[in-house]
Amino acid sequence: MKKNHNYCVIMAGGIGSRFWPMSRTAHPKQFHDILGTGSTLIQQTFERCLSICPIEHIYVVTSDIYGTEVEKQLVGIPQANILLEPSRKNTAPCIAYASHAIYKRDKDAVMMVAPSDHLVMKEGAFQKTIEEAIAEANASRELVTLGIQPSRPDTGYGYIQWDDFDEPKPTIKHVKTFTEKPNLELAREFVKSGEFCWNSGIFIWRADSIIKAFSEYLPEMNDSFIAIAPKFGTPEEKEAIERIYALCESISIDYGIMEKAKNVRVVLSDFGWSDLGTWGSLYSEVKKDKENNAVIGKNILLLQSSDNMVKMPENKLAIIQGLNDFIVVDTADVLLIFPKAEEQKIKQVVNDLKVSKHGKFL
């Protein structure tokens, strides 16, 4: 793979509220070694990027409160490649920032944009998929996303519907529609139809192609970044970013551009992917005991219990009897016991805590 014009953008500014109480505002899940592999999620993402482009072409967009942690965990990344957001405005401003910074540097740049906290089990298959997507993005100048072949009707993922219109290859499809997280009945219909895949949130496009899309669908945001682009890499960058972020609309790249654009293709993919967005998605990836309990911790004794996701501190003994299909997570200051079937409500619990006397636990 030619690497001179390849770039990677790692989005690392989220707080992972559905992974509370382990993921907190001060130390969100991308900075944790969730699976006990010896590497945090962002470190694993960084390593994958090194197979796509040289280290000096890897950018991280994160909250300004995480800049030091990114530098600490990603050894060798140029400090200038850590782009700091003064506030959380969803993924569109984040991607606009990185796209303009890279385009200023390289007019022929092609970018992979990926979240920092996803799991990839088949590294070789992932690299082949990215090579295919980069070739497509360069040849067609279209916006390319990776779609995951669904293994179950999951309500925690968005879905992409594809068709065979103008199909360049059997694995590359024209995108028909994007759908946000559906209910279970609709998810079953999607999987049954064979025309839908999960939306991975991983994108590949030329910098000039995505900037053109911003100019068409989010013109005010695009104009703001064009105006301050000369200040990138200078001492004036921080003040300029703070000024325009205060004005930027908070909007996702999916809603702001991908759902509206007509020139979107999806590469149908299978590389052992999970977005690790919830405790349930972690449960799917962790080795189970004979009663289908997924356990992370050394001193956990489960009696007459099944189908649970349990995470305990290494130095704590936990004895659990008669519990079925629950999430149990213990940290230094919070104990969560929650029905696994209702895990999507954890985010609402976190939102409720924000306005209660317990907000200090976030």
DSSP string, 193-258: HT-EEEEEEEEEEEHHHHHHHHHHHSHHHHHHHHHHGGGTTSTTHHHHHHHHHTTS----HIIIII
57-110 residue pLDDT tens:
999 999 999 999 999 999 999 999 999 999 999 999 999 999 999 999 999 999
Beta bridge partners of 7: 111
DSSP per position, 157-175: S-EEEEE-TT-SBTTEEEE
Cα–Cα distances in angstroms (integers) from residue 56 to residues 9, 67, 182, in the given order: 11, 17, 39
DSSP per position, 4-30: TTEEEEEE-----GGGTTTS-SSS-GG
DSSP secondary structure code for residue 288 in this structure: B
> What distance in Å separates the CA atoms of residue 304 and residue 15, rounded to the nearest whole number?
35
Q: Are 320 and 328 in contact (CB under 8 A)?
A: yes
pLDDT value of residue 284:
85
Q: Domains in the chain, start-ordered, CATH in brackets?
A: 6-274 (3.90.550.10), 279-361 (no CATH)
Question: Whole-model pTM above 0.85?
Answer: yes
- Which tops the pLDDT comparison, 324 or 180? 324
pLDDT at 165 over 70: no
> What distance in Å separates the CA atoms of residue 259 and residue 255, rounded to the nearest whole number?
6
pLDDT at 166 over 80: no
Query: Average pLDDT in the 213-220 region?
Result: 97
pLDDT value of residue 17:
83
Looking at residue 15, its amino acid is I
In sequence order, which residues have a C-beta less than 8 Å from that of residue 187 and are 6 or more positions away? 153, 154, 155, 159
Mean pLDDT comparison of 17-21, 161-165, 321-325, highest-scoring range: 321-325
pLDDT value of residue 47:
95
pLDDT at 338 over 70: yes
Q: Are 112 and 9 in contact (CB under 8 A)?
A: yes
Polymer length of the chain: 362
- Which tops the pLDDT comparison, 170 or 309? 309
pLDDT value of residue 1:
47
Average pLDDT score over the chain: 92
